[in-house]
Amino acid sequence: MKKILLSLLIASVSTLFAADGAEIYKAKCFSCHGEKAAKVALNKSQIIAGWDADKIIASVNGYKNGEGGAMKGVMKPIAVGLNDDDLKAVAATIASYK
């Protein structure tokens, strides 16, 4: 029982640290949006480096709701997989890339 409690504690602590925008970007966005978000993802997206965090959040939430461009189907599962904290953190990171 103690072991279970301990691992729950460790799991919740690492969730706290998980909202690290740069880590999330590397793990979930980098492969398509590239180094410092300066790449056109799959030859289709706009370059999102330096976008306002609010604009990024609105855009990603739009994908959750089925909005977006011709390739929105690519972004939808990614958007759905981000909770609000992660999205806020990663949006701030991308906004800081200029």
Using CB under 6 A, list all residues that contact ligand HEC.
28-29, 31-33, 41-42, 44-46, 48, 56, 59-60, 68-72, 74-75, 78, 82, 90
Least CB distance to ligand HEC at residue 6 (A): 31
Strand ranges (E), the chain: none
Least CB distance to ligand HEC at residue 2 (A): 37
Quote the CA–CA distance of 37 and 93 in Å, as a whole number: 10
- Say whether 55 sits in a helix, a strand or coil: helix
Running DSSP on this structure, what letter comes out for residue 47? P
Least CB distance to ligand HEC at residue 1 (A): 37
Quote the CA–CA distance of 90 and 69 in Å, as a whole number: 21
Nearer Cβ to ligand HEC, position 6 or 73? 73
